[in-house]
């Protein structure tokens, strides 16, 4: 089955036909590096991380480009507030962004491009736009003339009248049309600036993305992603710049937008100013729980954030880690590693007991990344696999073989989703052996009717976050999710 994606330009779900067969060139608008990112920003980056992982899993070659906006009014403002140069602000918050992404298990893009490293390219593009009559200079600033670009509004589906009414943009001195936007801003005293034919200044925000994306991916690249609030004006402006400069389109083959995150509780907005930082979330929940929350619903929907929904995600995620700990305990040295599997669409159908789950997983994700379906497949797999655990614990036989196969499939599917179960449970080999050994001591104490000693071992283990369940075939343990701080 071919992969289908929802294209914002067509407003429908269509087969993903790429410029070059088997290859995907994708660009996602990255952060403006002037503050700590919130969980709403993170959802977009988690999603495109997942989308990239899925393409790779399906056997595509992916080039993923992301920008860091490191020249912007907000950066200059922040530098003033912190009393430091602008580049101190941007290096501090680039690093913070990377730390937050690492905490969520988001892999860096293949190419990360910083606006300030590409100002010459942008000056050249702006110069080209002026030459073609798509842009004009006014007192050291350069504006894009939206009336020069007939297709302006095609992505967001708005007419000029809609935009003018909706955005309430005030006319600005020097602009020919109120919606004309700045490609180049003349420098004010003390601001970072670069030389240009129009005098010292800095590029506008929109021009950096069209220039850097086409520099690394060429015109007509496959996927341009970002949060849905970038559709207008940012992505609309990128299209106008790129297609006006090239003299033809399309700039991008498929536009994919991630839905926004809505805050639920009034309480949260009071104490945290209506934004919840990634940092605050990962201090209270494992990064995997935030990932679970972000990916379990379709990328296109608006998602609500609250402590309650994170608790729900923690519980659901816990069912997976509980299963894995049980499997690890039952299988011991037969525990499979995460397979480095790829499942290209034209490959043989997956075999073995887990094959049916792999098939369902790819079928649902091929359909515009229907992740809620994919999460349901993994839960179904875990339910079936759990039924084999007790039998597997008794020794060789059918249940044990099934459990090995199901566990391997579980690791395959969850690693495509970006979960790191090998590391996430924290039960590396030595930890697992030590816990098993302590439980043997506890069993010995119980056999000798030394119940106080047995309970003591249990209490101590539980105080370390190891929860123990006694089953007919012996105790089972797992490392629990750290309790959420009050």
Q: Which residues 257-296 are close enough to bind Zn ion by CB under 5 A? A: none
Burial of 85 (0-12, 13-18, 19+ CB in 10 A): exposed
Rounded Cα distance between 241 and 128, Å, is: 10
Neighbours of 156 (CB within 10 A): 17
Question: Which residue, 209 or 417, has its beta carbon nearer to Zn ion?
Answer: 209
Q: Rule CB under 5 A: which of 190-209 touch Zn ion?
A: 209
For residue 247, the SS3 value is coil
- Residue 113 or 209 with smaller CB distance to Zn ion: 209
Specify the stretch interacting with Zn ion by CB under 5 A; choose among 26-34, 144-152, 192-200, 239-247.
Answer: 26-34
Q: What's the rounded Cα separation, in Å, for the pair 464 and 241?
A: 57
Distance (Å, rounded) from C-alpha 268 to C-alpha 404? 44
Using CB under 5 A, pick the residue from 9, 24, 29, 256 that binds Zn ion.
29
Residue 24, H or E segment: strand 23-28
Q: Which residue, 38 or 458, has its beta carbon nearer to Zn ion?
A: 38
Sign of the Cα torsion 109, 114, 119, 125 reads positive
- Residue 186 or 241 having the CB closest to Zn ion: 241
Alpha helical stretches, state H, 247-306: 266-272, 278-284, 287-295
**Beta-carbon count within 10 A of 451 CB:** 10
137 or 243: whose CB is closer to Zn ion? 243
Task: Compare residues 113 and 163 and give the one whose CB is closer to Zn ion.
Answer: 113
For CA atoms 345, 351, 357, 360, give the dihedral sign: positive
Q: Which residues of 12-43 are buried (b: 16+ CB within 10 A; e: fewer)?
A: eeeebebeeeeebbbbbbbbbbbbbbbbbbbb
Does position 79 interact with Zn ion (CB under 5 A)? The reply is no
Of 287, 435, 421, 300, residue with least CA distance to 370: 300
Give the residue with the Cβ less far from Zn ion, 104 or 227: 227
Q: Which one, 257 or 343, has the nearer CB to Zn ion?
A: 257
Residue 104 Cβ, how far from Zn ion at the closest point, in Å?
Answer: 21
Residue 72 Cβ vs Zn ion, minimum distance, rounded to whole Å:
12
Contact 301, 370 (CB under 8 A): no
For Zn ion, the closer of residues 211 and 365 by Cβ is 211
DSSP conformation class of 323: H
For residue 231, the SS3 value is helix
Window of 29-37, 106-114, 304-312, 471-479 that interacts with Zn ion by CB under 5 A:
29-37
Stretch that binds Zn ion, among 13-21, 22-30, 54-62, 190-198 (CB under 5 A): 22-30
- Cβ of residue 30: shortest distance to Zn ion, in angstroms? 8
In the complex, the smallest distance separating the C-beta of residue 31 from Zn ion, rounded to whole angstroms, is: 10
Least distance CB 38 / Zn ion (angstroms):
18
Of 24-32, 115-123, 169-177, 452-460, the segment contacting Zn ion by CB under 5 A is 24-32
**Residue 209 CB, nearest approach to Zn ion (Å):** 3
Residue 267, Cβ neighbours under 10 Å: how many? 10
Selected range binding Zn ion among 27-35, 123-131, 140-148, 421-429, rule: CB under 5 A = 27-35
Q: Which is nearer to Zn ion, 29 or 335 (CB)?
A: 29
How many residues bind Zn ion (CB under 5 A)? The answer is 2
Q: How many CB atoms lie within 10 A of CB 171?
A: 11
Stretch that binds Zn ion, among 9-17, 28-36, 371-379, 439-447 (CB under 5 A): 28-36
Rounded to the nearest whole angstrom, what is the least distance from the CB of residue 114 to Zn ion in the complex?
13
Contact residues for 259 (Cβ-Cβ < 8 A; gap 6+): 43, 228, 298, 299, 300, 301, 302, 303
Closest residue by Cα to residue 174 from 141, 147, 199, 146: 141
The CB-of-308 to Zn ion minimum distance in angstroms stands at: 33
Task: Characterize 424-447 residue by residue with b for buried, 16 or more Cβ atoms within 10 angstroms of its Cβ, and e for exposed.
Answer: bbebeeeebeebeebbeebeebbe
What's the closest the beta carbon of residue 415 comes to Zn ion, in angstroms?
A: 29
x-marked contacts with Zn ion along 208-227 as a string, rule CB under 5 A: -x------------------
Distance in Å, CB of 65 to Zn ion, minimum = 11
Task: With beta carbons less than 8 A apart as the criterion, state whether 364 and 345 touch.
Answer: no
Q: Cβ 238 to Zn ion, closest distance in Å?
A: 6
Question: Which span sits near Zn ion by CB under 5 A: 21-29, 100-108, 296-304, 306-314?
Answer: 21-29
Residue 29 vs 413, nearer CB to Zn ion = 29
In the complex, which residues of this chain contact Zn ion (CB under 5 A)?
29, 209
């Amino acid at each position: 089955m071919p992969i289908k994606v929802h294209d914002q330009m067509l407003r429908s779900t269509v087969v993903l036909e790429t410029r070059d067969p088997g290859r995907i060139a994708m660009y996602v608008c990255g952060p403006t590096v002037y503050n700590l990112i919130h969980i709403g920003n993170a959802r977009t980056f988690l999603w495109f991380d997942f989308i990239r992982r899925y393409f790779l899993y399906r056997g595509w070659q992916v080039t993923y480009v992301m920008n860091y906006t490191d020249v912007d009014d907000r950066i200059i403002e922040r530098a003033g507030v912190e009393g430091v140069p602008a580049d101190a602000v941007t290096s501090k918050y680039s690093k913070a962004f990377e730390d937050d992404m690492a905490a969520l298990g988001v892999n860096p893009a293949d190419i990360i491009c910083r606006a300030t490293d590409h100002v010459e390219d942008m000056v050249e593009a702006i110069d080209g736009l002026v030459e073609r009559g798509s842009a004009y200079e006014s007192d050291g600033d350069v504006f894009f003339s939206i009336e020069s670009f007939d297709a302006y509004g095609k992505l967001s589906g708005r007419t000029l009248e809609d935009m003018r009414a909706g955005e309430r943009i005030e006319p600005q001195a020097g602009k020919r049309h109120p919606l004309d936007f700045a490609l180049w801003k003349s420098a004010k005293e003390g601001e970072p600036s670069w030389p240009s034919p129009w005098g010292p200044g800095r590029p506008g925000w929109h021009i950096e993305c069209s220039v850097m994306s086409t520099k690394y991916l060429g015109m007509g690249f496959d996927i341009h992603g970002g949060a849905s609030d970038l559709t207008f004006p940012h992505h609309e402006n990128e299209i106008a710049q790129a297609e006006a400069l090239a003299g033809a389109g399309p700039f991008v083959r498929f536009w994919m937008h991630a839905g926004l995150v809505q805050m639920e509780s009034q309480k949260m907005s009071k104490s945290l100013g209506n934004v919840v930082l990634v940092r605050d979330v990962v201090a209270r929940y494992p990064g995997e729980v935030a990932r679970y929350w972000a990916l379990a619903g379709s990328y296109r929907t608006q998602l609500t954030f609250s402590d309650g929904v994170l608790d729900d995600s923690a519980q659901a995620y816990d069912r997976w880690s509980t299963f894995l700990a049980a499997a690890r305990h039952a299988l011991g040295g037969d525990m499979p590693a995460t397979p480095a599997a790829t499942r290209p669409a034209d490959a043989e159908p997956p075999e073995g007991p887990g094959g049916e789950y792999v098939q369902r997983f790819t079928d649902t994700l091929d359909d515009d990344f229907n992740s809620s379906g994919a999460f349901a497949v993994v839960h179904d797999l875990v339910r079936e696999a759990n039924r084999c655990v007790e039998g597997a614990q008794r020794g060789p036989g059918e249940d044990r073989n099934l459990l090995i196969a199901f566990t391997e499939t579980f690791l395959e599917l969850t690693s495509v989703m970006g979960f790191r179960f090998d590391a996430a449970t924290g039960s590396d080999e030595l930890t697992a052996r030590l816990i098993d050994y302590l439980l043997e001591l506890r069993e010995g104490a119980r056999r000798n009717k030394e119940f106080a000693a047995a309970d003591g071992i249990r209490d101590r283990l539980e105080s370390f976050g190891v929860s123990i369940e006694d089953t007919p075939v012996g105790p089972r343990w797992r490392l629990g999710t750290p309790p959420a701080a009050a």
